[in-house]
Each structure stands twice: as C-alpha cells, then as structure tokens.
Amino acid sequence: MLQRITEHLKKDLIPFWENLRDEKFGGYYGYMDYDRKTDRTFSKGCILNSRILWFFSNAYLTLREETLLKDADHAYRFMQQHCMDRENGGILWSVTYDGKPDDTTKHTYNQAFAVYALSSYYDASGNPEALEEAWKLFDVIEKKCRDEKGYLEAFDIAWKPASNEKLSENGVNATRTMNTLLHVFEAYTELYRVTKDERVAERLRRILITFADKMYNPELKRQEVFFDDDYNSLIDLHSYGHDIETSWLIDRGLHILDDKAISEKLAPITDALAEETIRKAFRNGSLYAECENGVDKKERIWWVQAETVLGLVNYFTKHPEDQEILKKIREAVDFIFRYLVDKREGSEWFWELDDSYAPVEGRPIVEPWKCPYHNGRMCIEMIRRLG
C-alpha cells in the first residue's frame, strides 16, 4: 500500500501539477475541464494557489527533491506579487490569468489557507519573508475576521462585512461556519508547529473550546455545519467528509499543541466523530458525501475519499487493536485507485462518482476548489505515517 501511494504521488500527482505551471504569467493554470482541456485564460483562485504552494512545500519536505522546492518557489512568487492586497491587507479571492485583481472578496477561509501554505513554505525554504507574510495574515485574521464570539466569514476589499455565499450552500447563508473554523485551526496548527509562539497556542485553545462547546453535537455525535451569529445551527446536515477530516486534523493539532487538559476534552470527541461517520456512511470502501434532513447523498466526492483514508489511519493509530479498521483502510485505498484515479493520460482524480461509481461527466479536473490539497495530502501523510 505504501509503495502504491508513493508511486502515485511521484509519478502521477506531482507531474500533473507541474505541467500546469504558467511560465508566462506566473502561478499555475486555474482550470482544466472534464475532457482535460486547460483554459489558460481562466482566473486563478488564490485558494488554489495557496494549496499548490502547500502541496509542493510538503512534497519537498517529504521527498527532498530540489525541483519540488522550485515548484513551491514559483507559487510563492505569484502569491507575493499578485494575490496579496498591499493596500488593505490580506489575500484576494482570485486574480485574472495574468495576475490582476479579479474577485476582491476577503474571506477568512482564504486568509487561513495562505497562513497554512506560507508556514509550510517557510519550513521548506527557510525564507524568513514567508514567515513574515504568515504573521501579517495572522494579524489580519485576528483583527479583521474575528469578534468576541469567534471567527466571521466574508468581507469586501476594504474589510466591510459581506454576504457569505462562498462558504454557504444547501439553501442557507451562514454567519459562521464549521468549515472556516476548522481551517483556521489547521492554519494556526501549522504556524504553531514552525514557531511555537504562545500567541498562536492561545488561539488554538480557544478554537478547540469553540469546537467542543458550540459546534459539536454530543447527542448526534457530529459537528453542526452552518450557524447564525450565536452558533444556532441553521440546517439538519451531517457532513461526513468534514467530520472524518476533523477527527484527524484536531488530533494532529492536539499532538502539536501538547496541552494535556485540552487533549482530555477533545480526544473523546475526535473518536466519536470518526466512529459515528464510519458507522453511518462508510460503505463498500468509500464514504457518502453528506446527509441532509435524514437523507444520505451517496455521491463519492474526491476530497471526501482522501480524508476518509487519513481519518481511518488516524483512528487505527489510536486503536491498533481494531483490525476491522485496518481492513477498511485497505478497502478505502483500493476504492480510490480503482474508481477515483483517472486513468486517462494527462489527468488526475475525478471530481465525483455517482452511486454506481461512474465518473460524473462535466465535473472539471482542475478549478479553484479542485487541487492537490486533499489527495496530495493523503499521499504525503501516509508516507510520513507509514514510511
């Protein structure tokens, strides 16, 4: 299994994303359709660029191949030169293919992913400028994106509150979301890992308490997803993918934070999230997408399956006596390679499979949300944990 995953990272994922490098305008091309046609004039999502920066930085840290650091350098230069708003602070939502401001929304989620990427890139490159940029964005998040209750969502270019369509769905428009808080936590975990700064540790503790007290539903053993200003849940939605992802991301953060009291509070929650998600949604080596109003959505989404592997591995690390989980890990990896990995030349993973495991045609191979973050991270984490 480890050899299979390592070869996939080296021979498939890394070359695919390297081939999307834009040598003329910088960064990486922002769109490839289902038929594998690259649109070189499509806007470049800054989340996409951040995730590519994270991917190549961590691929370098894992494999130590110098070309990977150069790939990360390329993404970093584009972020520095085109994605940052030097006048108002923060990072934009997207820029045009040639690097001009496009969607100037400032979203907390987007700021967090840039912190995440810059922290990893600093670790890979040793470039102090990258860490300085991460700290600037940390300050932006804390000063512009947070109130006394927690983290907010969307703002315009001048940091006035804006509607949150970008991270709302299912017919709601949320003031606060589990997804944004999760990825602020993820970003701050990485910043703390490379700095051990107590300012970040303090924010991590507060975020974890918010997860436990506001977002986790102990009766249903799930996280709620969309909230009003006072953390009242807006919809009956069980996001299986986010729960299995959260189970291992929080455990990783707890390990790095190394705070016994917080770990004792959160560890039972991460176990419950993994156990309930697997019980309700893991079928035939794969995980359903979500459950809304009691009805499962049985599509298999690329990122959900990648996070399922890591959630299972993380759970097995804590409970090595559970041989049934080990069996599920093998099933999940086999499912990905059998159905999700696109065998067509010049492709990567399919976005989505229907309930018969056939690819949903028309879903792009690359777009602002479809990137090497989830599947690349699955490979990198598996190498680190099993290698």
Q: What is the mean pLDDT of the chain?
A: 97
Distance separating alpha carbons of residues 382 and 387, to the nearest angstrom: 8
Tens of pLDDT, residue by residue over 94-137, are 999 999 999 999 999 999 999 999 999 999 999 999 999 999 99
Q: pLDDT value at position 172?
A: 87
CATH of 2-386 among 1.50.10.10, 1.10.357.10, 3.40.190.10, 3.30.70.1350: 1.50.10.10
**CB contact set of 201 (below 8 Å; sequence gap of 6+):** 192, 257, 259
Would you state the structure tokens that stand for residue 386, as one six-digit string?
Answer: 């099993």
Helices (H), the chain: 2-8, 14-18, 46-63, 66-78, 108-125, 128-144, 178-195, 198-210, 240-257, 260-281, 302-318, 323-335, 373-386
Residues of the chain with pLDDT under 50: none
In one-letter notation, the amino acid at residue 248 is W
Distance separating alpha carbons of residues 240 and 279, to the nearest angstrom: 11
**pTM value surpassing 0.85:** yes
Question: Any idea what DSSP says for residue 365?
Answer: S
Q: pLDDT value at position 374?
A: 97
Q: pLDDT value at position 107?
A: 97
Q: pLDDT value at position 166?
A: 84
Residue 296's nearest CA partner among 308, 279, 274, 281 is: 281
Q: Which residue has the tokens 């960064």?
A: 27
Would you state the structure tokens that stand for residue 315, as one six-digit string?
Answer: 């759970």
What does each C-alpha distance from 165 to 155, 230, 307, 373 come to in angstroms? 11, 19, 24, 22
